Chain A
Amino acid sequence: MSFQYRKALIGSTVFRRTVLSGVIGVIGLIGLVWAGFAMHRAQTLGEVRASLDMEMEGLESLYAEQGLEGLVVSLSYDGQAAWDPEWLYAILEEDEFIIRVMTGDDETLAGFEGIDPPGGKSVTFVEHEELSGHPVLAFRMPLEGGEAEVIAARFVPDRLVILREWLVRSSWLVALAVIPISLLTGFFTSRSVVRRLNTILVTAETIGEGRMDERIPLEGNGDEFDRLSMAVNDMLDRIGALTRNLEGVSVGVAHDLKTPVSNLSGRLQLLERDAGDSEAVSGHVAAAQKHIGTLLRTLDALLRLGEVEARQRRGAFAAMDLSELVEDMAHSFQPLFEDTDKRLDVRAAPGVAVNGDRDLLTQMISNLLENTLEHARDGANAWIGLRTESGRALLEVGDDGPGLPANAADSVFERFVRLDSSRSTPGNGLGLSLVRAIAELHHGDARLLATEPGAVFEVSLPLKPD
């Protein structure tokens, strides 16, 4: 364990919190026990006091009736006015009163000589070796007339004394024990936390240094650290995919712009060479314009995609009849399918309404139809369908061949991805990206269904709320 690591451990919030909460917990516990003890003690002493009050009243009335002499006689045992200290044991066991009657000069007239509390009502201690200072609650009162004083006392119940001593000892014990225990708990708790965080930190630093493929290792127990790590890993995967897609996009943009530009450059050179031949010139010009058209369409598609992805268009949303649009567009495209010896069937449920941007949804359907027109084999049966299912409008555009490879489900929607890597077929690989972007703008999604043998695209859009 390195010094740095130990320092991170002791300095960690978890460590400090654990130690602090251990200490606070123990202090709270001790405080609570002592509070309970204090209440119990107060109640017990209160009872003793009340009995002392009654005893005092009894002695006073005895004095009033029979005078000092009578009082002394009544307190005598076996004709002896002064009590033998040995009796204390009996008194202690039988829970009796200790009485002392004395003159103003501290001369004991009757009772137990060894008790001499200060004035009033107080807790004092019996000065008797054998009892080793057992506490008593004692009252000291002058008798009416002032010729003598009476002290009445009663032992504080043993259990209070024992309980108190026990509490003092165990409080110290707990207080002393808790410090190492909470330090130890803090150490182990923070060690596991710091270790997990350290793993994440190290991975983050590695990624920060540019090793983008690094991922946080998982413990596999599904705890909060694993969940955090998984979330971060997912985020990294997504960022990685986006970055790769962006790299693909740059290459795609460059390629898709460069091809028409080089074609254009070629035509300009031919134009210079054939300057005298007006028929050749107009052929070159027409071809050059076609290349510019390709260039512009790619730029337009990129701009439109950017616009849609930047969510700039929700302002133009309005309720619209999707069934009508699907029917209308299908009828527009049917002749195109027929010209390439394909069929386009329409299976649109009537009255399917959504909230949307008519222009964008038109473009989305057009892109799907164009994609099918372009990629379905000659003689293929294609269809466009619209139905509703659990609150969503499902638009389907499909054909019966030749279909797409199984691993194309996601990549087909990425920008500039063309499954024909030679890029010899027309198109710029943006059409389906735009389909997905438009669907997502409408809180929907677009996916390629796993079907055989053809390619079937499904766009799901939320229905217009009633």
Chain B
Amino acid sequence: MRVGRVHILLVEDNQETVAFISRGLEEAGDAVTIATAAQEGLLAAAAHTFDVIIFDRLLPGMDGLDAVRVLRQSGIITPILMLTALDGIDDRVNGLEAGADDYLTKPFAFAELYARLRALARRQPLAEAEATRLVVGDLVLERTTQAVTRAGQRLDLLPREYRILEYLMQNEGQLVTRTMLLDHVWGYRFDPKTSLVQTHLSRLRAKVDRPFETELIRTVRGAGYVISVS
């Protein structure tokens, strides 16, 4: 399933970044509201309803962390993605603790940002994320028993393969990037130089797709993976 047109608030003071993000989002068919200062962003967030807010960490006049804290304290629960040039390990933890839902370090590929925004925008109905059974075409994943079947045939997955598949199916039809997988499946906060993700994905695909006629997991070159019935 796809998320329709989403409305995004972008709080960012760097003109290059603003142009880069808003152009990409508008081309993808989303609506973007731009604020170039923290105060302006807070006012916009309070006045309108957005699907996702992108907040830069370093803004003139106010630390993005404090702005996010203010938003959360005033009861705004819109998913927030923090952007930052800071790359300390603690910076990420601090960002999530302040109330951001995800954290992305500059520079980033637009595809990475977009995939994360989609994942955030569709997270809203919480019940869905908690569903006990995930289905993509004839692929069925039972969360209670951790059993995976395709066309009624039982697939024998290793625990890590199960978690990769579960995460892909949760984001059905959406791009899941390599770093999203590293983040959510492995819990690694760094980018290994080896092809860790690719290797595991190819093994998963050997089990999920190769014995069957149609391919469910597709590679998006240089970006990540999508699971969908094409």
Contacts and interface: CB of A to CB of B under 8 A. Distances in A.
B190 A300 contact: yes
Interface stretch (A194-202, A220-228, A273-281, A357-365): A357-365
How extensive is the interface on chain B, given as a class? 20 to 34
A210 interface: no
B90 A335 contact: no
A296 B191 CA distance: 10
A373 B194 contact: yes
Given A362-B190, A363-B188, 5 more contacts: A303-B88, A304-B89, A307-B88, A316-B90, A362-B189
Contacts of A304: 89, 190
Instruction: Say whether chain B's binding surface is mostly helix, strand, loop, or mixed.
Output: loop
Contact of A370 (B89, B109, B194, B203): B194
Interface residues of A, number: 28
B193 interface: yes
Interface in B167-201: 186-196, 199-200
Contacts of B107: 292, 296
A147 B187 CA distance: 126
B16 interface: no
A360 B107 CA distance: 22
26 contacts: A296-B107, A300-B87, A300-B190, A307-B89, A313-B89, A313-B90, A316-B89, A316-B90, A316-B93, A331-B158, A331-B160, A332-B160, A332-B186, A333-B194, A333-B196, A335-B200, A336-B195, A336-B196, A336-B199, A359-B189, A359-B190, A360-B89, A363-B189, A370-B193, A370-B194, A373-B194
A426 interface: yes
B90 A370 contact: no
Main secondary structure of the interface of A (DSSP, over half): helix
Nearest to B109: A289
Nearest first, the 3 A-B pairs at minimum CB distance are A359-B189, A335-B199, A363-B190
Contacts of B2: none
Most buried by A among B109, B189, B194, B195: B194
Contact of B193 (A335, A359, A360, A427): A427
Interface string A82-114: 000000000000000000000000000000000
B222 A335 contact: no
